[in-house]
Amino acid sequence: MAKSPRLSQEVKGFLDEANAASDPAWTAWLAFLLLLTYVVVTLASVSHKDLLLNSPVRLPIINADIPLVGFFQYAPAMLLLVYLSLLVQHVILARKYRRFTDAIVPYELKTGNENHARERVHSYVFSQILAGPRPHRITKLMMQLIVYVTFAVLPIVTLLYFQIKFLPYHEVWITYWHRFAVILGFAMLILLTPIMQHAPPKRKWDIRIGPEAESWEASGRQVLMILLLLPVVLGFSWLIATVPGEWIDQRLGFVPPVSAGIGAKDEAKLLNPILRRLVYDRLPDDGNRGWWRRRLLSYRVLIVEDTDLGVDEPAKLVLRERNFRYALLNRSDLHRADLTWADLRAAQMWRTVVRGKLNDTQLQGAVLKEAELQGAHLASASLQGADLSLAELQGANLSYAKLQGANLRGAQLQGADLRFAQLEGADLEGAQLQDADLEGAELQGAVLSSAGIWLAKFPRALAEQSPAPLGLADMKMSAPTPKAKAELRQSLDTDISDPELRGMLMARLDQVLRDEPANWVDATSWEDYARNAKARSPQELATFHAKLACDDSDGTIATGMARRAKDFETEHFGRGYAKPLAEALLDETCQGGKALTSDTRAVLKDLAGVNAR
């Protein structure tokens, strides 16, 4: 076997220089892997509760708190800079080893054997791939796998993890920044990684661009891999990881629900349209389907259920102007949170405790059934089509609130402030309105059957409002029984732990809770109105409700009216209401009807008799 020719001092210098650069590159590579691990661990620690409360991100080990939004804004940029630095450093390293390999190729061609100098190449796996001795096929595959995973897969996956982790926060512009960060990461990978190689083109589809010393080289196999991975990565970032209701999401076929519904079918409507069609709808209808639905949904909306969201000082729970649309907050305790101007449209808040500030909050179509809202500030809140049935609203401030078409059946509204509230078409059947202030409230077409109105203030303009509320003859004008008063007092004592709030409510409900008879100034006004108000026909009421619903372009009121149309007709008229209402909502000129889902429209067509023709 021929000996390898002796290497010149220049070639040895090339090798020593490359090996000297390999050691810091190896250190930088390990540091980058540690950084990726650190970032992933940090991201994994961010829960939906943290996103809801906008809690600072706590960095592991150093225990430093970083503002949540700031972390998701700047951390991807820092990661991209480190990633770029690592790639550039390895481009330089590849260039140094290229000088060495180019220098020893003549020696190897002359002897027909691999030069022993390759044994002296630094042990760093990247350096071994570039200039080390030819390894066993399996060893070579393992080394290439290490390089591809750590240089290509992990950085891009981490950038995608930033995006999907922050999606439920519903800050669309930051989601777009995350998408562009993924593009930048992929672009750096495509542009710089081939420069690290030193494999002259051998086949038809191999590519070499630029001068030989620093050419951009890629095999046909690598080009094919890029063409396959690029649409997968960008498709996931731009078409799968979407915010509910954003422009891309709606172009994909997502129909934003205008009202919330509790159940598997309603939750499935919130899924990404592509995932729903290709994954969820194809799953077998067994116990695992519900698990998959919640997993897929957790990357779209906030899910914070059965959770006490209390803080050391209630005043610190400030959630103003936040976007909680479609959030699932059932049975959670928000204490006295400040949700002023927040967006809670179509949110699920069944049995949720929230006794703070909800002034000007958007709650259209939200489910607040059995929610504990005692003493809550809901002035000017938008509650059109919301479900507030059996809600605890004692002493709540609902002045100027928009409650058209809302469901307030059985709601506890004792001592509530409903001045100038818009209650047109609202269902107040069985609601407890004792000592409520209804001055200026608009009650056209509302339902007051079995509502308790003892001590309630009479709206002076009620006689001029048309159509008159339904169920006036069934209103309960007598004082609550001693048992009912005791239950109300016990409920306030048991449910409300805040002594300040409990004291305020007790003072507000003093007239209702006291044992001695109270002087009800407006009793005669209520009696005279109930006796003299003109009852409207089912057709007239359907026309009014339809106009109310059609004027609401969001479709929230229309959805609520459509859901209760049949039951409403059965309870109050027997017939003559549901069909004209359905026909009006299905009419092409009805703006609110255009926002109805296909399922709701199908129900309306049955009521209108369209499907029977």
pLDDT of 1? 47
- Tens digits of per-residue pLDDT, 556-576? 999 888 888 888 888 877 788
pLDDT of 461? 86
In this prediction, residue 124 has a pLDDT band, given cuts at 50, 70 and 90, of confident
**Polymer length of the chain:** 613
pLDDT of 613? 45
Check residues 327 and 314 and name the one with the higher pLDDT.
327
pLDDT of 64? 87
pLDDT of 6? 63
Instruction: Write out the CATH class of domain 302-534.
Output: mainly beta
pLDDT at residue 314 above 70?
no
Domain residues of the chain, as ranges?
9-240, 264-297, 302-534, 538-608
In this prediction, residue 332 has a pLDDT band, given cuts at 50, 70 and 90, of very high
Q: How far is Cα 199 from Cα 234, in angstroms, rounded to an integer?
A: 29
Q: What percent of the chain is modeled with pLDDT above 90?
A: 42
pLDDT at residue 300 above 60?
yes
pLDDT of 4? 52
For 536, residues 6+ apart whose C-beta sits below 8 A from its C-beta are: 466, 467, 468, 544
pLDDT at residue 415 above 60?
yes
pLDDT at residue 326 above 60?
yes
In this prediction, residue 357 has a pLDDT band, given cuts at 50, 70 and 90, of very high
pLDDT at residue 379 above 70?
yes
pLDDT at residue 222 above 70?
no
Lowest-confidence pick of 327-331, 496-500, 607-611: 607-611
In this prediction, residue 217 has a pLDDT band, given cuts at 50, 70 and 90, of low
In this prediction, residue 194 has a pLDDT band, given cuts at 50, 70 and 90, of low
pLDDT at residue 500 above 50?
yes
In this prediction, residue 311 has a pLDDT band, given cuts at 50, 70 and 90, of low
pLDDT at residue 88 above 80?
yes
Q: What are phi and psi of 333, to 5 degrees?
A: -115, 105
| DSSP-derived secondary structure for 72-138 | HHHHHHHHHHHHHHHHHHHHHHHHHHHHHHHHHHHHHHHHSS--GGGGGS-S-HHHHHHHS----HH
In this prediction, residue 131 has a pLDDT band, given cuts at 50, 70 and 90, of confident
State the pTM of this model: 0.86
Q: How far is Cα 246 from Cα 230, in angstroms, rounded to an integer?
A: 23
In this prediction, residue 208 has a pLDDT band, given cuts at 50, 70 and 90, of low
3-state class (DSSP) for residue 317: coil
pLDDT of 492? 86
Average pLDDT over all residues of the chain:
86
Q: How far is Cα 22 from Cα 15, in angstroms, rounded to an integer?
A: 10
Radius of gyration in angstroms for the set of CA atoms belonging to the chain, rounded to a whole number: 34
Return the amino acid letter for 293. Answer: R
pLDDT at residue 518 above 80?
no
Helix (H) or strand (E) holding 558: helix 556-572
- Tens digits of per-residue pLDDT, 240-253? 999 998 999 989 88
Helix ranges (DSSP H) in 125-272: 125-131, 137-148, 154-166, 172-192, 220-235, 247-251, 264-268
| DSSP-derived secondary structure for 383-440 | -TT-B-TT-B-TT-B-TT-B-TT-B-TT-B-TT-B-TT-B-TT-B-TT-B-TT-B-TT
Arithmetic mean of pLDDT, 434-438: 93
pLDDT at residue 290 above 90?
no
Q: How far is Cα 448 from Cα 474, in angstroms, rounded to an integer?
A: 8
**Cis, bond preceding 467 (omega within 30 deg of 0):** yes
Q: How far is Cα 178 from Cα 72, in angstroms, rounded to an integer?
A: 9
Check residues 107 and 60 and name the one with the higher pLDDT.
60
pLDDT at residue 18 above 90?
no
In this prediction, residue 480 has a pLDDT band, given cuts at 50, 70 and 90, of confident
* E-assigned strand segments in 185-301: 207-209, 216-218
- Cβ proximity of 335 and 313 under 8 Å: no
pLDDT of 79? 95
